[in-house]
Copies of this chain bind each other. A is one copy, B any other.
Amino acid sequence: MNVLSDQLLNMERHDSIFESAVRALPLPVCAAFGDADGVRPVAFAGSGRILGTRDSDKVAASFPNSVRASGNTVLASAGVNRKVPRDRRVAVMFSGGPAAGGHNVVCGLRRALGPNNTLLGVRPGPKGLIRGDLFEITEADTQRVINTGGFDFLGTDRTKIKTDAQFDLVRQTCVRHGLDAIVVIGGDDSNTNAATLAESLFRNVKADGSGVQVIGVPKTIDGDLQIGDLLPISFGFDTATKIYSEMVGNILQDTRSSLKYWHFIKLMGRSASHVTLEVALQTKPAVTLISEEVAEKKQSLAFIVDQIAQAVAVRAGKGIGHGVVLIPEGLIEFIPEMSALITELNEALARHATEFAAVVDAEKAAFVEDTLTPANARLLSSLPAYVVRMLLAERDSHGNLQVSLIPTERLLVDMVKARLGVIDDRIRFAAHCHFLGYEGRCGAPTLFDAAYTYNLGLTAGSLVLDGRTGYMATVTDLDRGGVPRALPLTGLLNIERRHGKDEFVIEKALVRMDSPAMQYLLSRRAAWAGDDLFCSPGPRQLWGQVARQMPISVALNSGAASLEFRIG
């Protein structure tokens, strides 16, 4: 073995040159926590602000303990906690899809708890909590995972804790491991779960009749867990959108280099179009579809296709035979006619689940058409076979269509091509399709996500040590030093129909048409369609002068003066 071979061997298991270096990156902390060398947990006090939804009364009836304790009041840090308890045992778990920065939440949490309390890792996710698979997280562990991407330190899963049997098993885990608190790092569904757990574990878990605290941490690359200035963005969104933006920027550069292709790029992000909006603001492509706009303007599939085809034609007229179209993952569901179809399909498939499963594949479409209203049956039969197949595919554990399986990008290419044949068949149109998704969830966090999540961990740990339960940790004022706060989970819940019945959920935040970020897109979109005005944001940098950028949409929506974030 020569020297280089030895070096390569040493890189195995998370020790690339990059991974070794990022572990040493310093992380800033909010002034409330002191400084990075002398971090101290904070205490909290009510900020006077109360949260609520249209379903607050029903929430109060179903979550009496939590609502009575919090009064649905937003908390803000109120100085260093001078009565930090000892010997607390706190469990932490990831829940749902991974997002960059999760490891730093764990590291911040460990740091806030300090040497006198114990942090236990649950693996993997809610399933691990039910099973009781916990282990103690050491200082060495956190030094190993800090600033690295992914959730692989603990793993994650999507089990929803809902049956009595499951709640009993969780109680057993709490007792067996002597837990005082559980921190749930997850998205809207996982934080709904956290609210339910907080209520269920409020008291009478331990022998002395006391309960187990539950604190949520807002994670999701989709960006659909955001609440104005109280939660500017969920963590992971910045990293994912910067990864996608680099790829889209590279492809834009390719279109103008190769001069012959259109690229239709679908972006992960589930229902909301936050990811697509952010990537558009970062790269300025010719066409950007925003699902919420489609829904609000009641656009039909044919209208959307025609819009894209017209852009292709206009550019072709100027000698520009290339371009990029950004497509949000959830588009199909937001096209009113398609949405009506899917809603009826969701209900029909739930209703006829057993019979449907028994029908052979080739006859599934016909079987389902018979159960639909005539208008929807007609729409379904008018779609290409590969789209019908997808619309009838398996639902996720929430009874929702797995929209990421529908090749919307391919469907649009095929339909745009057909439409161009009608508009002017001399227009040359060659297109490639992409779906950017998994590659954005587990990349190494940007400096923004790394710092934000470390401070979310410090906040979550502080909430535990301050005796709080049923709160979600947040850090606000990200361009002005950062302020640790906490949102009462019950103040975020409302009722939604899922699996054909009412459930408490945290409503997904959608792109608002009147938001500054959306308004900026609208103000520039025609110019971007007419000529190549794109830019390439490049690979995210962890060192040097360009490393400190927050998401453009977050900066616009929060009225920031620049893209530079400032924590500490």
Contact = CB atoms under 8 A, between A and B. Distances in A.
Nearest to A245: B16
A541 B438 contact: no
Interface in A232-287: 243, 246-247, 249-251, 253-254, 256-259, 261, 263, 281-282, 284
A15 B19 CA distance: 29
A27 to B, nearest CB: 16
A242 to B, nearest CB: 9
Nearest to A154: B257
A251 B545 contact: no
A16 B152 contact: no
Interface in A1-52: 2-5, 7-9, 11-19, 21-22
Interface string A283-317: 01000000000000000000000000000000000
B563 A149 contact: no
A538 B444 contact: yes
B7 A562 contact: yes
B250 A156 contact: no
Interface string A543-560: 111110100100110011
A141 interface: no
Contacts of A258: 97-98, 151, 155-156
Nearest to A9: B524
A230 interface: no
Chain A residues touching B, majority SS:
loop
A533 interface: yes
Contacts of A546: 17-18, 21, 543
Interface in A523-548: 524, 532-547
B536 A149 contact: yes
Contact of A536 (B8, B16, B94): B16
A277 to B, nearest CB: 13
Nearest to A11: B535
Contact of A247 (B13, B281, B439, B544): B439
Given A18-B541, A546-B21, A253 B155 contact: no
Contacts of A552: 8
Contact of A16 (B15, B17, B249, B256): B249
Nearest to A152: B256
A478 to B, nearest CB: 14
Contacts of A439: 247, 250-251, 254, 434
A187 interface: no
A438 B248 CA distance: 10
Nearest to A444: B538
A126 interface: no
A3 B561 contact: yes
Given A155-B256, A156-B258, A5 B520 contact: yes
Contact of A253 (B9, B22, B442, B533): B442
Given A149-B253, A254-B438, A552-B8, A539 B246 contact: yes
Given A157-B259, A544-B544, A533 B12 contact: yes
Contacts of A284: 11-12
Given A539-B443, A563-B17, A156 B533 contact: no
A441 interface: yes
A254 B441 contact: yes
Contact of A254 (B150, B253, B539): B150
A262 to B, nearest CB: 12
A247 B246 CA distance: 11
A24 to B, nearest CB: 9
Interface string A49-74: 00000000000000000000000000
Given A8-B520, A18-B538, A148-B253, 14 more contacts: A5-B556, A12-B524, A12-B535, A97-B258, A98-B253, A150-B253, A151-B258, A152-B257, A243-B539, A246-B443, A250-B438, A250-B440, A250-B441, A541-B541
9 contacts: A4-B562, A5-B556, A12-B284, A15-B535, A19-B536, A98-B254, A149-B250, A251-B442, A254-B438
Interface of A: 2-5, 7-9, 11-19, 21-22, 94, 97-98, 124, 148-152, 155-157, 243, 246-247, 249-251, 253-254, 256-259, 261, 263, 281-282, 284, 432, 434, 438-444, 520, 524, 532-547, 549, 552, 555-556, 559-563
